[in-house]
Amino acid sequence: MTRFARRVEQVSISGIREVFEAAGEDAINLGLGQPDFPTPTHARRAAVEAIEAGEADAYTSNRGTESLRAAIADKHARDNDLAVDPENVIATAGGSEALHLAMEAHVDPGDEVLVPDPGFVAYEALTHVAGGEPVPIELRDDLTLDPAAVEAAITEDTAVFVVNSPGNPTGAVQSPADMREFARIADEHDVVCLSDEVYERMLFDGEHRSPAEFATGDGVIVVNACSKTYSMTGWRLGWVTAAEERIERMLRVHQYIQACASAPAQYAAEAALSGPQAPVAEMRETFERRRDIVLDGLESMGLTCPRPQGAFYAMPAVPEGWVEAVLDRGVVVVPGEAFGAGGAGHARISYATDTETLREALDVMAEATAAVR
């Protein structure tokens, strides 16, 4: 019998793909986790120019080019009021690699990682890959993560807790008071607060604050990416920022699994971060309009849905059989269980699709709702 590593046997292929495949090609797909916008032209052009000038042929520094890391530091000063030294940044292959580095550098076999439930699927999977034990933390009714629940779950084995705001699959945004608490918990308990902020700029209500703004120690690691903000999921460019010692440990892993982030993507990212931000504002406004359409639609069906304040997902509570009834009628949504046991009885609806298609899909959902009630 073929022998595989136990760590990997605990990881399953994301349930989201299976739903897509079951639905067939003509289905309306509201299962996607990527913006339906083009990458800003100035970002594309910067990559093309770097390629044509022969500047993107070789490895860059392991951490990423100096100019990209300076642009990332500027971004944190501008958007987060955070002084980040470019030396404390590693450019990665998307936010995914950044999360992987943080887990590999901080989680030993048997260590516990507290993950929001429902939460983004990678947190649990990457915990297993690092040999750790994911511990699901149930969310509040408004689908935010309660700092008190995190603190109560900390044991002597806890290495990391994950915060994700705006959240996938929930669209929920943590309050500044929560973020301050997460920073305090990291400081007081000497555990890592891994803050995944990839949807930071897709914010409609509330305020985005990073726990890193409140930390007095070095416990907060911030992950971000160009993927969602600049509709650059295919470019694979993200980053991690943390205190020097943590960066040094993450660099040990990064240099062997990746060497450096893709050079053309680094040029595109630098231009995206330091160039005009109008495309981000336009995308945010469009998502906000769609959020309202989806919320109105769900409300008129009598479904309860906490008002998503960011990202591009809504997560209503749905009756039994609803996801299947919607799928049977040709609309793909993701069952909440795909994001953890706490997602049961919910569905994730992505509104990264045009208004007309969205309205069509909502009509189908209304029909399905009537059928399963």
Of 204, 369, 206, 202, whose CA–CA distance to 297 is shortest? Answer: 369
Give the interface segment with ligand PLP, choosing from 93-101, 136-144, 171-179, 320-328 (CB under 6 A).
93-101
What character string, x for contact with ligand PLP (CB under 6 A) and - otherwise, covers 207-226?
------------------x-
Minimum separation from the CB atom of position 197 to ligand PLP (A): 9
What residues contact residue 115 under an 8 Å CB cut-off, 6+ apart? 123, 124, 127, 134, 135, 136, 137, 161, 162, 340
Minimum separation from the CB atom of position 321 to ligand PLP (A): 27
Find where tokens 């902020």 sit. Answer: 197
Q: Is 182 near ligand PLP (CB under 6 A)?
A: no
**Of these, 104, 124, 187, 196, which contacts ligand PLP (CB under 6 A)?**
196
- How does 62-83 read in b/e, with b if 16+ C-beta sit within 10 Å? bbbbeebbebbbebbeebbebe
Find where tokens 């969310």 sit. Answer: 139
Q: How far is CA 30 from CA 23, 70, 182, 248, in A?
A: 11, 36, 32, 40
Q: Within positions 25 to 84, which residues make up the interface with ligand PLP, using CB under 6 A?
A: 33
What angle, rounded to 10 degrees, do the helices at 41-52 and 263-274 form?
140
Q: Give the total of residues touching ligand PLP (CB under 6 A).
A: 13
Which residue lies nearer to ligand PLP by CB, 164 or 241? 164
Q: Is 258 near ligand PLP (CB under 6 A)?
A: no
Which residue lies nearer to ligand PLP by CB, 187 or 196? 196
**Of these, 165, 170, 195, 233, which contacts ligand PLP (CB under 6 A)?**
233
Q: Within positions 104 to 143, which residues make up the interface with ligand PLP, using CB under 6 A?
A: 120
Please tell me the total number of residues recorded for the chain in this structure.
373
Q: How many CB atoms lie within 10 A of CB 211?
A: 29
Give the residues lining the site for ligand PLP (CB under 6 A): 33, 94-96, 120, 164, 168, 196, 198, 225, 227, 233, 238
